Amino acid sequence: MTVVIHSSDITTESAFLKRRQLIQSALLLGILPAVQSVSAEVEAPNTIEQISRYNNYYEFSTNKEVIWKLAEAFKPHPWTLTIEGEVQRPRTIAFDDLLKQFPQEERIYRLRCVEGWAMVIPWQGFSLASLIKTCNPTSRAKFVEFIGLERPTEMIGQRNKMMAWPYTEGLRIDEALHPLTLLVTGLYGHPLPNQNGAPLRLAVPWKYGFKSIKAITKIRLVEEQPVSSWMRSAPSEYGFYANVNPDVSHPRWSQRREVRIGHASKQPTLLFNGYADQVASMYQGMDLVKYF
């Protein structure tokens, strides 16, 4: 389920929802062909209040419901992103130049947290692949490592040594280059809120939410599989792939069902978070239980 809309069409939350109703009606009436970027099986996004007031962001706190307040003093500008490692053209790019160089799109993605809750979020951003390709990866680039910001003066959760900072994550190169993998710059047509990872985060919708690292400062293309923050902190509970899979339980809870924020009842968890048609081929022949 992916909706892609050019930045010139990005609107407020209320206009956004009205526009989606019109698109769905047009699909049902046959006015728009189904081969466009809009799926008829679209879920209504969560409200901006739900998205911005219920967050995991341990750099600020382990309490989801206070992060928005603790993040108010965070200063996401100026900001630069460095791309280095196994690339022929390493780059350091100012955030404002990223916005100018890469056209922004709207993508409506499911977000599934490993803790068992879920949302549907209208992100704004651009394909990670489009950025990586400008750096000319070498043949030795097998994985991509992402490094977040370390700034304990503002990110007060980093004063807690529950894990090694800065936060790091990683993807296989084909996952990073997949069309669904998004570098996020905003949501609901607005700049990304501090508590949602401003100014630049990742969205990998078929994986658990902790893979979608926030406040990215550096991207490194590497030959060896990187060790992510959660793999280092709790290796028996968190694997490198972290693909959403109802058949692979967390050691402390089942993953078979999930709670959509704003809904009272649970619903079944979908393999690859509902994106199996787009991504399952990347894991053909792999043991999805062993490589969790």
Q: The domain spanning residue 242 has which CATH number? A: 3.90.420.10
| pLDDT of 1 over the 80 cut | no
Is residue 23 scored above 90 in pLDDT?
no
- 160 annotated as ligand-binding: no
- Do the domain assignments include residue 185? yes
Binning pLDDT at 50, 70 and 90, where does residue 24 land?
Answer: very low
48 falls in which pLDDT band (50, 70, 90)? Answer: very high
Strand-strand pairing, 257-260 and 117-127 = parallel
- Burial code of 35-71, b = ≥16 C-beta within 10 A, e = fewer? eeebeeebeebbebeebbbbbbbbbbbeebeebbebb
What is the pLDDT, as a whole number, of residue 43?
A: 80
The answer to whether residue 117 is domain-embedded is yes
**Average pLDDT score over the chain:** 89
- Is the pLDDT at 177 greater than 90? The verdict is yes
Note whether residue 288 is domain-resident: no
Res. 49: pLDDT tops 60 = yes
Tokens at 132, concatenated: 């990586």
Per-residue pLDDT reduced to its tens digit, 199-227: 999 999 999 999 999 999 999 999 999 99
Statement: residue 6 has pLDDT above 50: no
Write down the residue that tokens 């108010």 correspond to: 72
55 is in an annotated binding site: yes
Tell me whether residue 87 is in a domain: yes
Q: Which of 159, 162, 146 is nearest to 70 (CA)?
A: 159
Confirm or deny that 212 is annotated as ligand binding.
yes
**Three-class SS of residue 281?**
helix
Q: Are strands 80-85 and 216-222 parallel, antiparallel or unpaired?
A: parallel
Is residue 289 situated within a structural domain? no
Is residue 292 assigned to a domain? Answer: no
Residue 214 in marked binding region = yes
Q: Write down the pLDDT at residue 123.
A: 98
Say yes or no to pLDDT of 252 above 80. Answer: yes
**Is 154 labeled as ligand-binding?**
no
pLDDT in tens, 125-169: 999 999 999 999 999 999 999 999 999 999 999 999 889 999 999
| Residue 291 counted as domain residue | no
Domain that includes residue 50, residue range: 5-283
* Range 274-281 average pLDDT: 98
Assigned domain for 194 exists: yes
213 labelled binding-site residue? yes
**pLDDT for the residue 20:** 54
How many domains does the structure of the chain reveal?
Answer: 1
**Kind and range of the H or E run holding 260:** strand 257-260
List CB contacts of 49: < 8 A, sequence separation 6 or more: none
* 58 has binding-site annotation: yes
Is the pLDDT reported for residue 38 higher than 80?
Answer: no
- Kindly state the average pLDDT of the residues 1-23: 48
Per-residue confidence (pLDDT) for residue 42, from 0 to 100:
59
| Confidence class for position 18, pLDDT limits 50, 70, 90 | low
Other CB atoms within a 10 A radius of the CB of residue 260 amount to 18
